Amino acid sequence: MLAFALVAGSVWVVLELSSTFMEKMQSRDLLLGLQLPELDDLGQFLRSLPTSTLLGLGALTAVLAYWISTRPRPITPPCDLRLQSQEVQMEDGARRSMMGDSSTLLSHYHEDAKTMYEVFQRGLHITGDGPFLGSRLPNQPYKWLSYREVSSRAEHLGSGLLSQGCQPNPDQFIGVFAQNRPEWIISELACYTYSMVVVPLYDTLGPDAIRYIINTAEISTVICDKAQKAAVLLENVQRGETPGLKMIILMDAFDTQLLEEAQKCSVHIRALRDVEALGREHYRKPVPPGADDLSIVCFTSGTTGNPKGVMLTHGNVVADFGGFLKVTDKVIFPNQDDILISFLPLAHMFERLIEAVVICHGGRIGFFQGDIRLLPDDMKALRPTIFPVVPRLLNRMYDKIFSQANTSLKRWLLNFAAKRKGLEVCRGVIRSDSVWDKIFFHKIQASLGGRLRMIITGAAPASPIVLDFLRAALGCQVYEAYGQTECTAGCTFTTPGDWTAGHVGAPLPCNLIKLLDVAEKNYFAAKGEGEICVKGPNVFKGYLKDPVRTAETLDADGWLHTGDIGKWLPNGTLKIIDRKKHIFKLAQGEYISPEKIESIYIRSEPVSQLYVHGDSLQSCLVGIIVPDPEVLPSWAQKKGFGGCYDELCGNKEIKKAILDDMVRLGKASGLHSFEQVKDIHIHKEMFSIQNGLLTPTLKAKRPELKEYFKTEIEQLYSNISM
């Protein structure tokens, strides 16, 4: 009996191994020529073996059987990763996704969710009295509002707005001026329930931009969180700068002084709960919007000029997140057990889109406390499964991990473990229970709650080195998206199973992408390079009351011209290689793209921020560098330098070492000599929104940087010419 069991087990193992081998080879030819022994001969051979040998064989069989049954399975990609997009005939070289109907672009994923109102109703139907929106006080657990509670509050708030004179149609714009919190979503849903349009405001836009938005969008009602913001809005009215603003609704408590100031300029101040109570008394049935109705006007900050009001319909948003669902539906489909941590500004479409995906499937959204420094504590308390991030945060995570590995041996072991686990990732295996996780990465994963299954990064290019490491260390699927507000949020996305870095994925099934020649930079579509253009149901309708800038961005055939320069890779994915804007010539006539150079130099370990400068009167480039306060001391110590952050920033030898490291990276990345900076200035203070050097989306404001560092730049050029 024992011999029979061992034989059966051995045969099963052989068959399993043969099956696996055949799957890998995708052919039977190799096995056809093998002369396998008959089972009678095999049985006779086994019976001739001593008992100890049979027991050893049985143990080996058991181990092999266990390994085969428990070995990690790779993710099955939804398409051939060697061909992730295909060219579309009669579309001037445009490419589309390999997923979905090849004859049409995806406009929605769920038949019962074609507007943002229906998206919420679908989530409500799935989860009902289950948790939806969560918030917490310091050192307290999360408290949750249910889908049904939020539905009632949204209808009551919307009815209250109508009772105050707002109209239930897409011509009614409602401003929302608040940090991420449950009332933000309730206000948004109140607007959608009665076909009104949301216009997000955020204080990092600056006072001039807020006045411009209120006047351009003709906003008469603003819902805001804090009395301080309401006071700023009232000051604008008192100065006659926003005469159309008539009502401010406050989420937080306010005092009588604010009421008195409001009365002076005939502005009504209401508490959010009071407006909800009014709506409960004067309830109005929902007036749902259509797919072609406006849902949101999202003003983008830009680096120059007034902000542009991107007009997005309900259909735009639904198409964009439908494209995301189509790409990932066979691998990691959202469900009501998912929890998203909300900390990226809701005024930006990237965050709004991911939250819409969660809402549509009855999942939960937990809000951070409002202080980014407390985000790790919020992550541990919430234990999210979905984590939308920007590359800057990933860089900080990466730097912090390695700064805590404070010896060369620890860093070597960390890199070794990441590379070994990275081999699994390259084979499509994503898990958090390997020996490498248990020894090296468990604490990192636990610091993010320990339940993450999806990280999505967008808004800026991510470092390949950082992505590769975190895909191994975090034990979850890490996706990279590319897009801009004008295409709702994303137009390309990582294909599940393709965990290679250095590209932004393939086109989403909701849009086409083509490249146009940029002759002045020697980029030609015939060579697979050029300006990225997007067309599809996720592309915006234009800028609010701005036909000139609309025509500059959206051509007559419906193609959105992004200003980014991309390159098609052989597998059909897109790589961002340059930026059309901010291109300038040096004195000798060479074209320079500073953002491309900055994207290379930022990989230097001690560099946190930088600004590369040049102009047509100079023959070379210079740079302004802000070192990372957490990384510079340890990096300098490895180079043999000591001192605090301020002392190191003033050390000429440290400056030279940083410059040498940047030039080394430039050479390794193929920069021409004229594209390398010749000298740098070390600046101790970070570029920020507050000091006016970054946009609210954390992009460099190049004209402001040029003016801010005018003296330092002149001194750098003076030193070079000496």
3-state secondary structure 341-354: EECCCCCCHHHHHH
User: How far is residue 636's CA from residue 653's CA, in Å, rounded to a whole number?
Assistant: 10
Q: What is the DSSP letter of 307?
A: -
Spell out the residues 6+ positions from residue 282 whose beta carbon is closer than 8 angstroms to its own: 159, 160, 162, 163
HEC profile of 558-585: CCEEEEEEEEECCCCCEEEEEECCCCEE
pLDDT for 587 equals 72
Q: Do 86 and 93 form a contact (C-beta atoms < 8 A)?
A: no
Rounded to the nearest 10 degrees, the angle between the axes of helix 207-216 and helix 227-238 is: 70
Pairing of strands 591-592, 584-585: antiparallel
Strand partners of residue 479: 456
Q: Where in the chain is the domain with CATH 3.30.300.30?
A: 584-721
User: How far is residue 2's CA from residue 499's CA, in Å, rounded to a whole number?
Assistant: 46
Q: What is the DSSP letter of 82?
A: T
User: How far is residue 569's CA from residue 578's CA, in Å, rounded to a whole number?
Assistant: 15
CATH of 116-289+338-359, one of 3.50.30.30, 3.40.50.1370, 3.90.1150.10, 3.40.50.12780: 3.40.50.12780
Query: Residue type at 422?
Result: G
pLDDT for 22 equals 40
Q: Do 628 and 399 form a contact (C-beta atoms < 8 A)?
A: yes
Q: Where in the chain is the domain with CATH 3.40.50.12780?
A: 116-289+338-359
Element (H, E) at 667: helix 652-668
Share of the chain above pLDDT 70, in %: 91
User: How far is residue 492's CA from residue 489's CA, in Å, rounded to a whole number?
Assistant: 10
User: How far is residue 353's CA from residue 563's CA, in Å, rounded to a whole number?
Assistant: 22
Provide the 10 A C-beta neighbour count for residue 616: 12
Fold of 584-721: GMP Synthetase; Chain A, domain 3 (3.30.300)
Burial of 80 (0-12, 13-18, 19+ CB in 10 A): exposed
Spell out the residues 6+ positions from residue 583 whose beta carbon is closer than 8 angstroms to its own: 520, 521, 591, 592, 593
What digits encode the pLDDT tens for the residues 428-466? Answer: 899 999 999 999 999 999 999 999 999 999 877 788 888
User: How far is residue 658's CA from residue 664's CA, in Å, rounded to a whole number?
Assistant: 10
Query: Residue type at 169?
Result: N
Q: Which positions of the chain have pLDDT values less than 50?
A: 1-34
